Structure 1
Amino acid sequence: MYHKEKSIQIKSSASALYNNLSVLRIAPRNLTYFSVVHANVVNMVSASWDGLNYSHRQLQSKEGNVATSSSLIMQAAWCVLPSRELLVLTSQKGIQMYESDGSIMVYWHALDTPEAPTGVSSGAILVFDVPSKGSNITLSEVLEEHKESITDMASECSGSLECIADMVSADDSGLLCVWKSGEDFQLLNKIPGFDMCCSSVKLWKGTVVAAYGTGQIRLYEAVTGIVHVEVNAHARWIYSLDIAPFSGLLLSAAEDSFVRVWHLTMTPESNTVEIAHMYNECVTDTQICGAKFCDGDGYAFAVTGYDLSEIIRYTQA
């Protein structure tokens, strides 16, 4: 179903972090951006769609505008907003927001200060108001339903529908919080995790897709928390999930060196979701820590592994 393409070399290897790969497709310029975290540095690569041209940039964790070698970066991801795309870095010291190409830091927010004791492991979710341009970004709300460290968050646009979930957050205890965004965030549901870490979570057509340290994937109805499906997907800890929203393809990657592609189908009459296994790929002797589709149809995906200084790409045959 997929075949391996030429790998993209990065300047330093991937750290063993959940979801340690972020991808942004820039269609007007025929470019794809990739970002991978290594300790206190983010490796960013801009790649042409034909795979012939690359440019590299490294972003370092900062405290204000001063680079700091002691602050580890915990996550780097692109946030695609209606009028803007930002690259957001979270470190032990604070949150950095860059223009999508990493060229300009537009905002920095300090963490764990006396005025705002919201450290990286407190479980707090910070909500920011972001204008369509400029750096006048403000903290508007702090959501404090989680008591353990946040592991992942995902969103999906629900349009103007009332009481439809459009964000889900997960933590180290496996707790999932389902939210409706708006002027203020509204908590719709809390789904217990039974003290097993949920490492990665996605939201698709009102369904929460959650991956766990047990190697299991569970599909929940977001608003009610009813379990649709539970799959013993991997032999070891799952590090990353991704969904291609247009096709319903689901990507999972784990410590067991396997990347798997699944297909989700929605049955509107019964309001249930089914999952079918489609494809396996073994990345030999590699603890996979990031996997992302490179497009909304799932035509291509990319993979990173702990201590691996490359991004491995696959496209449909």
Structure 2
Amino acid sequence: MVRAAGPAAPATVPRTSAEASGRTSRARGDGQVVVISGLSGAGKSQASKLFEDLGYYCIDNLPPDLLDRFLALRDEDPARFRNVALVLDIRAGDPAPAIEAARAALAERGVPMPVLYLEASDAVLVNRFSETRHRHPLESRSGVQAGILLERERLARARELADQVIDTSGLSIGQLKEQLFRHVPRDSAADDLLIDILAFGFKFGIPIDADLVFDVRFLTNPYYVADLKPLSGLQTPVREYVLGQPAAGRFIELVVELLELTVPAYRSEGKTRLTVALGCTGGYHRSIVLAEELAKRLGSLGGVSVAVFHRELER
């Protein structure tokens, strides 16, 4: 069972669909198409992933010949292609004509198209290609640096067309994200850290996707109270029994303090999802109560979107 949590009362949502939970990014108006261009090795793939985390439909290395077809698809299915990030670079030739054509076509539709151009110093690019052992797309017998120089020349017009030129030489992922979205309109919720709170039972295994795991078996188990055994942690008698223990309230306070400290740091490092797992023996009583309580407390934090999942509830 899954619940979305926030300032209002939680509503049931599917476990596997971020879109159904209302946490997928939705831009204003008719959405937008963001073009990512720039030098090979400057971080375009990472930039595309950051947009994907915000709910954008990302297309890497779209051939210019298919641009008209893509625009037609967007007209046919605007919900699916509402917010799009296109990577246009040297692999398909000079992207400048495609950028100009797309900008004109989208302007007629009233759709904004910010162009972001990523670059880095020659030394940084050479080092990145050396570390990844990838070949530069324009590399010849003259070496990587000659390929970089040639690419700079061929992309000069695309750079001129950019709304924002970003030098990624010394940027962390968090700093890159900040630079990318500084001039890209978006809903405030699009930048939220998604916090999944998962109640589970240790007897069924620790969740492999958990970032933080807390053992709540220090609390007295309602399982051994005859009237409470058949009930779940979602029901009032079990909730009152668990939260009536002084250690339960103090535990929630400490976890909230920990997350108040770490959430801003997680966001600054570019993390987009955090899974907090609370485990008791069977995952049916104590962990469910505390997961629900923690979600209520975290719902008031700024910059987060919270959902609760009860892994063992249907067993």
Q: Name which structure has the greater RCO, CA cutoff 8 Å, separation 6+.
A: 2
CA radius of gyration, larger in: 2
Question: Which structure has the highest helix share of the two?
Answer: 2
Regarding TM over 0.5, the answer is: no
TM-score w.r.t. the length of structure 1 is 0.25
TM-score w.r.t. the length of structure 2 is 0.25
Question: Which structure has the highest strand share of the two?
Answer: 1
